[in-house]
Structure 1
Amino acid sequence: MLTSEKIDDKERLNVLKQQGVKFVRLQFSDLHGISRGKVFPISEMERLPEHGIAFAGAVMTVDLRHNVVAGFETGLPDIIARPDLSTLVQLPWEPEAAWCIANLEKPVSGMPFDVDSRNALKQVIKRYEKIGLSPVVGPELEFYLCKQDGESPEGLKRYLDNDSHVYTTGSFTDPQGILEYLLENAAQLGLKAYAANHEYGRSQFEINLKHSLAMDSADRAFLFKTMIKELSARKGLLATFMGKPWNDDEGSGMHLHISLARKDGSNAFCDPQKPGVLTDLGLHFVAGVLSRSVALTPLLNPTVNSYRRINAKALAPTRVNWGYDNRFTLVRIPNETGAATRVEIRSMDGTANPYLAYAGLLLAGLEGIEKKMQPPKAIEGFLYGLPEEEQGTPLPTSLQEALAALEQDEELRNDLGSEITDTFIVIKKYELDRYNQWVSDWELREYAHHL
């Protein structure tokens, strides 16, 4: 995955030992996309691929406030994490340590664990392979860097609070050199990072990752988020991928650029005779994504906060539509042609679990291909200047509305895996209930003095 060397697992372990690696952090994604795992002496990695290591399965039903969500009381059995040694990689910032991603299995039977989002993506990829196609995905992630601040209500303030640093670089933008530090380590880690910049928001940054096959891309997105969090903490900062961390600043998105490769490596979205126009297969894919976009919304925007970002003023899509090189649309077709022909999904934010989001979007696109769906007319010009009926179906404006749409889409839930989607819905409803009962600082400021 993260290395191009075609060596077997035993040789890979021996190379890392020779390079001074002493510990391996075995990790997997929970439903939130958070890295969970354990650290092992590297000598243990010789037996773990065969035997695996047990974790309490309840870790997959924990919410973000450390509550084990009710509804899964079946004795809280184990799950088995089995290392995928092809993902083993030495950490450039800590050469004595390495990372390795694990697949999750059921004890005894060894069958894939139903709530493993990496396995959910793997099953979708297999369906594409049966029709001779391989999904290719390039992720773009934006994030904010923050400092601890005991005086502010949220306990955080921006790393730098100057206006208009978009597309600027150097010490004036980044006095501690954090961005270049992150870019260097992302490149050395094999995450295929190739560019970085200050984004539009104050202390908002973006690091671009190259495209690759879907599983490799999702693994890199997962490790990228983990790396950004860890390295920022080492510098005394907090990095957040929240959709809208500040009331007075821009939201952060995670855009996905998707194409499909044929067995000969050619781009199935590109017709050499019609440069700049999607093939019929590409149009079918777009139609499938649009048809499921409302139900997919909670997988792409999984927090209460995500919906603060989704508004017309934020260049975040609010409607189900598509267009050629139009940044107001949900699905944008960039103006690059030939092998670079692709679709861009613009609604997602960085709090999404990459494996779940990739799986859901690719499933929807596959449905469009299999059913030969046709998309509506492409949006041209300024979206919000069009008659409302031409703008497309509104996207959900709250987590509650989005979860209801996913819950009602039985076909999508079954295709993605009813157990993983139903578990996701239960956890997110619990989170939503806690939010609805919480007295906010806005309420105190608005009402306490006057009422």
Structure 2
Amino acid sequence: MAKRTTTTSRKKETPRLRGAANIEEAKAFVAERGIEEIECVVPNQAGVARGKVMPVEKFFGNPVMSLPNAIFYQTIAGDYPEEELDRAVPTDSDLLLQPDFSTLCVVPWASDPTVQVLHDAYHRDGQPVENAPRNVLKRVLKLYEEKGWRPVVAPEIEFYLVKKNLDPDYPLEPPIGRSGRPEIGRQAYSIAAVNEFDDLFELIYDYSEAQGLAIDTLIHEEGAGQMEINLRHGDPLDLADQVFFFKRTIREAALQHDMYATFMAKPIARQPGSAMHIHMSLQDARTGRNVFSDRQGRPTPEFFAFIAGLQTHLPAAMPMLAPYVNSYRRMMKNSSAPINVQWGYDNRTTGLRVPPSDAAARRVENRIPSSDANPYLAMAASLACGWLGIENGLTPGEPVSGSAYDLAFDLPRGLLEAVSELEDSEALKDVLGVNFVRTYTAVKRAEFETFMEVISPWEREYLLLNV
């Protein structure tokens, strides 16, 4: 097996193994591979796959399927905010789910020949379901399309490999690599630490190539057993789909090697949290020119207004960027994670970083989202904030040249505070959709109530005999 370079980058071209232009191409795709079953998938609010598995003949007999409206009201624990669900869907009626054949790809870990295809949700009158995360991102992208612009994004996803853990009362631990020993210290950018799991990463690459997914680089991050995969830049909807598929892929590959891959924001105490950094720029749809640079290569007013929009509105967008109670454990002082919406040039301590680049690649990196975020909603929220900055001609603060970790918090410190800010943001309601915000915040409040039912080890440790 060839050894990897520092960033574990593969150079060979990925064959076109994903997508079909229409149902006839989809039928040919399936027939060529002897496919027996089709996973009809729709991502819910948590970015979890919901849907049905159907025989090929039944699927192509009627590729539009139906599922209860309640799938977009379900919490991560499988419950529902009953009051909101009763208000919005009193009859628990069905939605129509139509396949997006551009997402068609094989399921390489399936025991029988199987493909998967993402679906979009519609009401029976043909209107898109406002609560569906994929539709929320499409809604934001349409705002840019109306200006003649195309957003370009590149996500970076961090995750941990951990030993299998069947008892949630016990802390997670790093897995055993080929040396027979777990990591005990931080191994940022270590080739030896990556090589501990060579067989796993080869399987991840094989699964990814089989699905037509393009990994740019793979590195070992700071934490013990913490890795990062970077994806090539492109269209936000396509990249959100890829992140969705990659999460499934990495989890499945890890299980094949008797370990877990987790995208929890803070899975292990006293280890760094996991982020999903999102690089963003804008292209002129007609010329392909970077809207953030003028013809002389200087930053444009749109570039600075985009940053200002992020600074102004990201605190209210936090429920989409840090969606769980655990997410806020990542963003603490001295934790290598941003605690504010300061910005700076090549400054990794700020929430908003402008990486060094030439004028054609000028972009903004949003370092605030955690890896547990639904990629559709994290991208939609980030682009919505930037759009509001441009639309309203906002001006950013001064760039930070020193450590932003020494500056004050200006992000919500917990989930309920974040939810309240989103509920109070008329600007984000207008861009993301009033019904979506109402549903999403109801789901988040219900999840918080479930969390409050659990007594933590900290409470037993410090309160049991002391109060």
Check if 1:88 corresponds to 2:109: no
Q: Is the 8 A contact 1:115 1:420 kept in 2?
A: yes
Which of 71, 75, 78 aligns to 2:94? It is 78
Cα 1:22/1:353, change in 2 over 3 Å? same
Pair 235,4 (structure 1): closer, same or farther in 2 beyond 3 Å: closer
Does the C-alpha gap of structure 1 residues 384 and 231 become closer, same or farther in structure 2, counting only changes over 3 Å? closer
Residue 141 of structure 1 corresponds to which residue in structure 2? 157
Deviations 1:191-221 (A, max 9, x none): 2112212211111111111111111111111
**Other-structure match for 2:230:** 208
Tell me which of 246, 257, 260 is aligned to 1:235: 257
Q: Is structure 2 residue 200 aligned with structure 1 residue 178?
A: yes
> Counterpart of 1:87 in structure 2: which amino acid?
T
Trace 1:1-400 onto structure 2 (pairs within 5 A).
7-49=21-63, 52-71=64-83, 72-73=85-86, 74-94=90-110, 96-107=113-124, 109-149=125-165, 153-154=169-170, 156-160=172-176, 161-162=182-183, 163-169=185-191, 173-175=195-197, 177-262=199-284, 263-274=286-297, 278-384=299-405, 388=407, 394-400=410-416
Q: Secondary structure at the match of 2:117?
A: strand
**CA distance in 1 between partners of 2:158 and 2:222 (Å):** 10
Q: Does 1:411 align with 2:433?
A: no
Contact 1:194 1:209 in 2 (8 A): yes
Give the percent of matched residue pairs that are identical in Structure 1 and Structure 2: 32
Distance 1:185 1:170 in 2: 23
Moved more, 79-88 or 343-352: 79-88
- Give the deviation of 1:379 after TM superposition: 1.0
- Change in CA separation of 1:150 and 1:369 when aligned onto 2, cut-off 3 Å: closer
Q: Deviations over 1:52-84 (max 9, x none)?
A: 111122222222222222121212111121111
Residue 123 of structure 1: SS of its match in structure 2?
helix
Indicate conservation of the 8 Å contact 2:21/2:101, yes or no. no
CA distance in structure 1 between the aligned counterparts of 2:464 and 2:396, rounded to whole angstroms: 51
Give the AA of the match of 2:121. Answer: L
Q: Aligned with 2:128: secondary structure? A: coil
TM-score, structure 1 as length reference = 0.92
CA contact (8 A) 2:35 2:114 kept: yes
Report the CA distance between 1:168 and its aligned residue: 2.2
Which letter does structure 2 place at the counterpart of 1:264? T
Partner Cα separation in structure 1 for residue 241 and residue 186 of structure 2 = 33
**What TM-score, normalized by structure 2, do the two folds share?**
0.89
Q: Which amino acid aligns with 1:368?
A: G
Shift of 1:26: 1.0
1:176 positional shift: 6.1
Residue 396 of structure 1, CA deviation: 0.7
Letter in 2 for 1:97: T
Q: Is the 8 A contact 1:26 1:101 kept in 2?
A: yes
CA distance in 1, matches of 2:464, 2:103: 54
Deviations 1:326-377 (CA, angstroms, capped at 9, x unpaired): 1111110000113322110000011111111211111111111122211111
Other structure's SS at 1:319 match: coil
More deviation in 409-418 or 339-348? 409-418
Q: State how far apart, in whole Å, the 2-side matches of 1:331 and 1:424 are.
A: 25
Question: Which amino acid in the other structure matches residue 388 of structure 2?
Answer: E
Q: Which moved more, 1:11-20 or 1:89-98?
A: 89-98
CA contact (8 A) 2:160 2:225 kept: yes
State the SS of the aligned residue for 1:313.
Answer: coil
- Unaligned segments of structure 2, at least 5 residues: 1-15, 177-181
Match of residue 428 from structure 1 = 444
Contact 2:272 2:336 in 1 (8 A): no
The DSSP-based 3-state class of the residue aligned with 2:282 is: strand
Alpha-carbon separation, structure 1, partners of 2:37 and 2:405: 54
Between Structure 1 and Structure 2, how many residues are aligned? Answer: 441
Question: RMSD in angstroms over aligned alpha carbons?
Answer: 2.2
User: What does the per-residue CA deviation read over 1:161-187, in whole Å, with 9 as the maximum and x for residues that have no partner?
Assistant: 312332123577524621232133223
The secondary structure found in structure 2 opposite 1:256 is strand
Letter in 2 for 1:438: V
Amino acid in structure 2 at the alignment position of 1:328: T
* Structure-1 residue corresponding to 2:5: none
Amino acid at match of 2:296: Q
- Report the Cα distance in structure 2 between the residues aligned to 1:176 and 1:153, rounded to whole angstroms: 30
Contact 2:189-2:221 at 8 Å conserved across structures: yes
Measure, in 1, the Cα distance between the counterparts of 2:62 and 2:247.
25
